[in-house]
Amino acid sequence: MKASKIIEEPVYVTRPFLAPLEEFQPYLEKIWESKWLTNAGPFHQEFERMLAEYLGVEHLALFANGTLALVTALQALRIIGEVITTPFSFVATAHSLLWNGIKPVFVDIDPETFNLDPNKIEAAITPQTTALLPVHVYGKPCDVERVQETADLYGLKVIYDAAHAFGVKYQGKSLLSHGDLSILSFHATKTFTTFEGGAIICPDAKTKKRIDDLKNFGFHDEVTVVAPGINGKMNEVQAAFGLLQLKHIDKAIARRREIDAQYRKDLSSIPGISLPALPVDTKYNYSYFPILVEKNYLLSREELYEKFHRYNIYPRRYFYPLISEFPMYRGLASASAGNLPIAHNLSRKVLCLPIYPNLSNEQVSRVINVIRGSTS
């Protein structure tokens, strides 16, 4: 049967882009020879410089992972009380608040961008609100101008969860330069990876120094601890791998763009399948390819999801369930379904299709054929 050929080869929603193994060997040998494994070694320092240059920012602090970066960013700005955020994200966004003893306040999302709706932020502000934590969902820019206007009006800090937004530019400027801080993730599923990893984009050298202290147990120098910090340091192997990945990232993003174009060309005319528009005025990174399975499609979202599995194709329902539906959040007043109708609706229609650099045109066609219904 034709289906048996498809089943032989799994296709996942994403796979890390990995530079050739032979290129990594010299980096490992240098680490082995130097015996400098962590604590801001030479590869760490070089990667920090090279990455800042690539991203078009002046200061950044590397981290072992993006979640530690989020937790530390909140500490660095001394955020307390309540923080307004989105329910349509990976759960680490809200978890970082709970780890800091902060109450999340969920606000509904924009139906076009899937980002925090700037029109609904002001109504959620209380005397306890100290910050906004929007997410650039799928790497698409939030309405950064409107978010900042509201923050300035009420004296709030803005921290962007930019886990999906590696390399994205908005109106010719790095998207990461908006807000007080922006947080990146270099997890294995991201556009750019260091196995695990992350970074905080800092506005100035003073802020970077405070964050560097916090990620190293609070040590300011060899004998001075200035804060109850954490161990969030990126090690030399991660940093070396990041340096190598930087050499190939533009090619990887270019391939993602090709896959995105193929999907858009072949899926745009299928009844019941909606394709969210690409962001305008943006140099995009094509980190995800979401579709919306509407009521007039021949299958429900869940039925299509299960059909993909029968062909060994594994899309993801990003983001379902909503963060607000998990046990530690659903008791909050802001987590009620009535407060988040758009997020609830979209979370039950969205399906992110496979997109990664070594996905072949044939594999993309297999995905498309399942949606077309040309496979049974």
Q: Tens digits of per-residue pLDDT, 319-375?
A: 999 999 999 999 999 999 999 999 999 999 999 999 999 999 999 999 999 999 976
Give the architecture (CATH level 2) of 21-246: 3-Layer(aba) Sandwich (3.40)
Domains of the chain: which residue ranges? 2-11+249-372, 21-246
Q: Tens digits of per-residue pLDDT, 61-98?
A: 999 999 999 999 999 999 999 999 999 999 999 999 99
Question: What pLDDT, on the 0 to 100 scale, is given for residue 375?
Answer: 67
Residue 9 has pLDDT above 90, yes or no: no
pTM for the model stands at 0.96
How much is the mean pLDDT over the chain? 96
Question: What pLDDT, on the 0 to 100 scale, is given for residue 20?
Answer: 83
Give the architecture (CATH level 2) of 2-11+249-372: Alpha-Beta Complex (3.90)
Residue 185 has pLDDT above 60, yes or no: yes
Mean pLDDT over 156-185 rounds to: 98
Question: What pLDDT, on the 0 to 100 scale, is given for residue 18?
Answer: 82
Q: Tens digits of per-residue pLDDT, 103-142?
A: 999 999 999 999 999 999 999 999 999 999 999 999 999 9
Residues 6+ apart with CB under 8 A from 235: 37, 38, 44, 64
269 compared with 3, residue with greater pLDDT = 269
Residue 376 has pLDDT above 90, yes or no: no
